[in-house]
């Protein structure tokens, strides 16, 4: 995604009104412009909305994935929702691997990232006045943004959406949501399988597929399982590949499942839930 210079945004709050009646709030802080946006331009009772926290970062700065790696911390969202509305889990796009030296490697995002959160609307909307009105959605966002130094940041973002009998996508944001959805990890295709073997010092992650996989990167969901700075060794085959992962020095107990994301360059990312078998040596 294109880099965007943001220095002219510093220190002010932007509140804009979109033609659909949607009210969106954005905030620009040092090194990042952060906005709460919606894929839909209105709410239908019983529907599921897609809200998103959109980060646009100054060149060279980064934020973190759900597993930040050897340092950092992921963004945290605290929602304030209208009565009866509930928020689902953050949908995390696959990260980049970031390594500045041989001792540390992190997982995160440069340039731009959209974190999608499904919001479930109740089937019946109760109000004191009998008028549905325009519900307000708010989120307190905390994140760590880093370059040579790391800066903790936070913002309180708000968004208002009117009710309607039919929900229509917001043309100003729908493309960004659609593009991000294509990046989100998906289940393995039918017929593909993932398993892992635990040896003394390594995990051997085996992906059985219906085609060769020449290149891939595994991102572990849980910290402290693999040694992040050690380059992953790939062993491609005609029916998938194996990835050799060095164990973390702080991993003290056996694990039963190796969970993470398999990112294939130029292709989709897949959710990995690989049962771990102990090697007999």
pLDDT in tens, 166-193: 888 999 999 999 999 999 999 999 999 9
Q: For residue 126, what pLDDT is reported?
A: 61
What is the predicted pLDDT for the residue at 13? 32
What average pLDDT does the segment 48-65 reach?
Answer: 97
Burial 6-37 (b: 16+ CB within 10 A, else e): beebeeeeeeeeeebebbbbbbbbebbbbbbb
Both tokens of residue 268? 């989709």
The SS3 call for residue 157 is strand
Structure tokens at 58: 């100054």
The reported pLDDT for the residue numbered 23 is: 47
Which residues neighbour 37 within 8 Å (Cβ) at sequence distance 6 or greater? 24, 51, 52, 54, 159, 170, 173, 176
Cα 131 to Cα 128: distance, rounded to the nearest angstrom = 8
Segment 22-50, tens digit of pLDDT: 444 566 667 999 999 999 999 998 999 99
The top-scoring range by mean pLDDT among 51-60, 132-141, 157-166 is: 51-60
Q: Measuring CA to CA, which residue among 174, 177, 175, 164 is closest to residue 42? A: 164
Q: What percent of the chain has pLDDT over 70?
A: 86
Instruction: Compute the residue count for the chain.
Output: 281
pTM for the model stands at: 0.87
Strand partners, 107: 97
The pLDDT assigned to 27 comes to 66
Please say if the pLDDT value at position 263 is more than 90: yes
pLDDT digits (tens, 9 = 90+) for 214-243: 999 999 999 999 999 999 999 999 999 999
Q: Which of 263, 269, 229 has its CA nearest to residue 245?
A: 229
3-state SS string over 29-88? Answer: ECCEEEEEEECECCECCCCEEEEEEEEEECCCCEEEEEEEECCCCCCEEEEECCCCCEEC
Closest residue by Cα to residue 3 from 43, 49, 62: 62
CB half-sphere exposure, 82, CA atoms < 13 A: 22
Task: Say if residues 216 and 243 touch (Cβ distance below 8 Å).
Answer: yes
Report the mean per-residue pLDDT for the chain.
Answer: 88
Burial class for 181, CB neighbours closer than 10 Å (0-12, 13-18, 19+): middle
Q: Do 87 and 50 touch, CB atoms closer than 8 A? A: no
pLDDT at 280: 63
Pick the closest to residue 95 from 6, 221, 179 (CA basis): 221
Task: Provide the 3-class DSSP secondary structure of residue 180.
Answer: helix
Structural domains of the chain in order of their starting residue, each with its CATH number: 7-183 (2.60.40.1250), 193-278 (2.60.40)
pLDDT at 116 over 70: yes
């Amino acid at each position: 995604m294109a880099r965007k210079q943001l220095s002219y945004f510093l220190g002010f709050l932007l509140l804009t009104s979109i033609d659909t009646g949607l009210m969106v709030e954005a905030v620009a802080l040092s090194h990042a412009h952060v906005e709460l946006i919606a894929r839909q331009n209105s709410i239908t009772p019983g529907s599921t909305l897609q809200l998103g926290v959109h980060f646009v970062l100054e060149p060279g700065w980064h934020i973190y994935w759900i597993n930040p790696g050897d340092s950092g911390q992921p963004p945290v969202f605290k929602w304030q929702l209208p009565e009866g509305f509930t928020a689902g889990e953050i949908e995390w796009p696959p990260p980049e691997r970031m390594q500045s030296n041989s001792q540390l490697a992190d997982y995160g995002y440069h340039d731009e990232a959209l974190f999608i959160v499904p919001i479930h609307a109740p089937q019946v909307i109760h109000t004191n006045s009998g008028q549905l009105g325009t519900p307000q959605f708010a989120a307190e966002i905390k994140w760590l943004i880093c370059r040579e130094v790391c800066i903790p940041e936070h913002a309180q973002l708000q968004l208002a959406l009117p009710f309607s009998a039919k929900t229509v996508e917001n043309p100003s944001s729908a493309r960004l949501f659609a593009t991000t959805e294509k990046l989100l990890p998906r289940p393995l295709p039918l017929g593909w399988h993932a398993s892992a073997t635990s040896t003394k010092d390594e995990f051997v992650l085996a992906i059985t597929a219906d085609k060769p996989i020449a290149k891939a990167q595994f991102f572990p969901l849980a910290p402290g399982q693999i040694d992040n700075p050690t380059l992953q060794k790939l062993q491609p085959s005609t029916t998938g590949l194996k990835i050799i992962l060095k164990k973390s020095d702080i991993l003290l107990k056996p694990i039963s499942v190796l969970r993470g994301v398999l990112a294939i360059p130029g292709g989709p990312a897949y959710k990995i839930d690989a049962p771990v078998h102990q090697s007999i040596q």
